């Protein structure tokens, strides 16, 4: 276990180095201790996923030695290089002042949630179908076989519509197994729990700077207590909460960047977007929705151009996996050439109303209660001059929701009563 902890520290230091190179300065100086530390955890996780994916696609070893560790060591060393010129942090972004009260309070709450989560998952074996057949299956393929074998997708994966899911979660399972010297479900879960805690800490850090200390603690508690979060999804060895661990900080970091223009924040946003895209198919949708929304509320043409470059870099990070899956005929049965064909769309579009009803009935939260909470909050934000922030969050949510809704519609199977039964069963199970 000591070896795994040391290896995870190397991943975090490599994430710090990646932020240092992309952001052009020391993350701690620009972002403060809490922001730099928690974002380094998420950046390191992204780096490990991308390095494992590239190694697997190229037919190289997906075990730590020698390629993965070499990449991580180089980037970790880059993060320790002396800074040539000290540039003051942008107003409201980084922090050369003492750590804010909101940082301390939200970090304490996040750590308490993390300890509770770790206690749940540390000894929990794989028990859920999706854990075994999608995530742990691929992770053990990478650790035990030591390479990415496309023939694996001809096995149990054929029974699932998600054959083309990216490799961030399997890469972390393989990383944990390799340093322990054996397959171990509990430590693999702890890898994902660490990402969840890092998300909570980024949330507290960002909201402290956007809205103050009280709002930061409230935000951390709100995220930790969301329906189905810690009670179910966070204890599973799947990518659902892992996707949120990248997508939510991305939205908040972009909100800070839109306010300050700090280069380090945009660099962090690009890395977070790449991490989101490495989790599930929906990750790239969420990332591009967040970046498009930030671009709409950014008045500077130069800033928008930089955002486009960051978004392109995040999208390009998904290219090796996309190319690999296409070359080997591995694709999703949800969104593909068949489901997007004119004939298929003529069959599925009439079911759009039934899908909307299923969203209303099955997604967590009462629409009336959500409106009751959000409308006054939106009016208050607008009255306090936070119109751009309000618009950014609203557009992000609208685009992401529309994308998910369209995915549900185009993937409907059958017609008539059979299609209605499919929709009900699909929403119930997810």
Q: Tens digits of per-residue pLDDT, 391-401? A: 999 999 999 99
For residue 234, the model assigns a pLDDT of 76
Query: Quick one: pLDDT band at residue 381, thresholds 50, 70, 90?
Result: confident
10 Å Cβ neighbour count for 324?
Answer: 19
Query: Quick one: pLDDT band at residue 94, thresholds 50, 70, 90?
Result: very low
CA 168 to chain CA centroid, Å, is 9
pLDDT of 153 > 80? The answer is: no
For residue 199, the model assigns a pLDDT of 97
Q: Please give the C-alpha separations between residue 321 and each of 53, 56, 250, 328, in angstroms, as whole numbers.
A: 7, 9, 22, 11
Q: Which two tokens stand for residue 334?
A: 């949800």
Distance between CA atoms of residues 291 and 303, nearest Å: 12
pLDDT of 333 > 90? The answer is: no
For residue 251, the model assigns a pLDDT of 97
For residue 83, the model assigns a pLDDT of 73
Once rounded to an integer, what is the mean pLDDT over residues 111-137?
91
CA-based nearest residue to 28, from 111, 99, 114, 110: 99
pLDDT of 329 > 90? The answer is: no
For residue 92, the model assigns a pLDDT of 44
For residue 222, the model assigns a pLDDT of 92
Distance between CA atoms of residues 142 and 136, nearest Å: 10
Once rounded to an integer, what is the mean pLDDT over residues 198-220?
95
Distance between CA atoms of residues 158 and 160, nearest Å: 5
- pTM, two decimals, is 0.93
For residue 97, the model assigns a pLDDT of 45
For residue 144, the model assigns a pLDDT of 92
Task: Tell me which residue has tokens 């997604």.
Answer: 363
For residue 96, the model assigns a pLDDT of 40
For residue 295, the model assigns a pLDDT of 95
pLDDT of 402 > 80? The answer is: yes
Once rounded to an integer, what is the mean pLDDT over residues 233-262?
92
Pick from 110-119, 274-283, 373-382: least confident: 373-382
| Percent of the chain topping pLDDT 70 | 93
Once rounded to an integer, what is the mean pLDDT over residues 277-305?
94
10 Å Cβ neighbour count for 237?
Answer: 28
For residue 85, the model assigns a pLDDT of 62
For residue 91, the model assigns a pLDDT of 43
With contact defined as beta carbons under 8 Å apart, do 19 and 264 qualify? yes
pLDDT of 23 > 70? The answer is: yes
Task: Tell me which residue has tokens 């929304």.
Answer: 293
CA 94 to chain CA centroid, Å, is 22
For residue 233, the model assigns a pLDDT of 67
Distance between CA atoms of residues 161 and 165, nearest Å: 9
Q: What is the 3-state secondary structure (H, E, C) of 229-260?
A: CCCCHHHCCCCHHHHHHHHHHHHHHHHHHHHH
CA 415 to chain CA centroid, Å, is 35
pLDDT of 158 > 60? The answer is: yes
Distance between CA atoms of residues 365 and 227, nearest Å: 8
DSSP helix/strand/coil, 160: coil
DSSP helix/strand/coil, 99: coil
For residue 95, the model assigns a pLDDT of 47
pLDDT of 88 > 70? The answer is: no
For residue 426, the model assigns a pLDDT of 86
For residue 363, the model assigns a pLDDT of 84
For residue 324, the model assigns a pLDDT of 93
CA atoms within 13 A on the CB side of 359: 16
Once rounded to an integer, what is the mean pLDDT over residues 164-187?
95
For residue 304, the model assigns a pLDDT of 95
What would the pLDDT profile of 39-86 be if each residue is shown by its tens digit?
999 999 999 999 999 999 999 999 998 899 999 999 999 998 887 665
Query: Quick one: pLDDT band at residue 389, thresholds 50, 70, 90?
Result: very high
Average pLDDT, the chain: 90
Query: Quick one: pLDDT band at residue 99, thresholds 50, 70, 90?
Result: low
């Amino acid at each position: 276990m000591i070896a795994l902890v040391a290896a995870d520290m190397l991943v975090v230091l490599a994430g710090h180095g990646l932020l240092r190179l992309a952001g052009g300065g020391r993350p701690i100086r620009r972002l403060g201790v809490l922001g730099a530390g928690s974002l380094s955890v998420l950046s390191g996780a992204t780096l490990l996923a991308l390095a494992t994916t590239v190694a697997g696609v190229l037919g190289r070893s997906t075990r730590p030695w020698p390629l993965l560790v070499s990449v991580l060591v180089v980037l970790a060393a880059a993060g320790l290089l002396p800074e040539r010129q000290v540039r003051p942090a942008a107003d409201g972004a980084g922090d050369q002042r003492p750590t804010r009260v909101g940082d301390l309070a939200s970090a304490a709450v996040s750590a308490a949630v993390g300890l509770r989560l770790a206690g749940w998952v540390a000894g929990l074996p794989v028990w859920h179908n999706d854990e075994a057949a999608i995530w742990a299956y691929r992770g053990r393929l990478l650790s035990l076989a030591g390479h990415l074998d496309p023939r694996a997708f001809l096995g149990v994966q054929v029974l699932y519509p998600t054959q083309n899911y990216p490799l961030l979660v399997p890469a972390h399972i393989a990383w944990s197994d390799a340093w322990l010297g054996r397959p171990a479900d509990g430590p693999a879960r702890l890898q994902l729990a660490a990402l969840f805690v890092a998300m909570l800490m980024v949330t507290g850090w960002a909201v402290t700077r956007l809205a103050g200390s009280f709002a930061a603690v409230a935000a951390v508690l709100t995220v930790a207590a969301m329906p189905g979060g810690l009670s179910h999804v966070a204890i599973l060895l799947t990518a659902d909460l892992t996707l949120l661990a990248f997508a939510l900080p991305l939205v908040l970091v972009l909100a800070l960047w839109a306010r300050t223009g700090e280069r380090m924040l945009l660099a962090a946003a690009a890395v977070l977007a790449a991490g989101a895209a490495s989790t599930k198919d929906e990750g790239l949708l969420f990332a591009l929705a967040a970046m498009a929304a930030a671009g709409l509320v950014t008045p500077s043409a130069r800033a928008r151009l930089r955002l486009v470059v960051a978004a392109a870099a995040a999208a390009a990070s998904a290219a090796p996996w996309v190319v690999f899956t296409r070359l080997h005929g591995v694709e999703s049965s949800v969104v593909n050439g068949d489901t997007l064909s004119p004939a298929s769309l003529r069959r599925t579009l009439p079911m759009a109303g039934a899908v909307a009803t299923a969203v209303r009935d099955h997604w967590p939260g009462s629409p009336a209660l959500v409106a009751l909470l959000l409308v006054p909050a939106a009016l208050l934000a607008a009255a306090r001059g936070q119109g751009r922030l309000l618009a950014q969050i609203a557009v992000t949510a609208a685009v992401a929701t529309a994308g998910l809704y369209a995915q549900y519609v185009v993937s409907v199977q059958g017609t008539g009563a059979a299609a209605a039964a499919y929709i009900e069963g699909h929403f119930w199970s997810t």
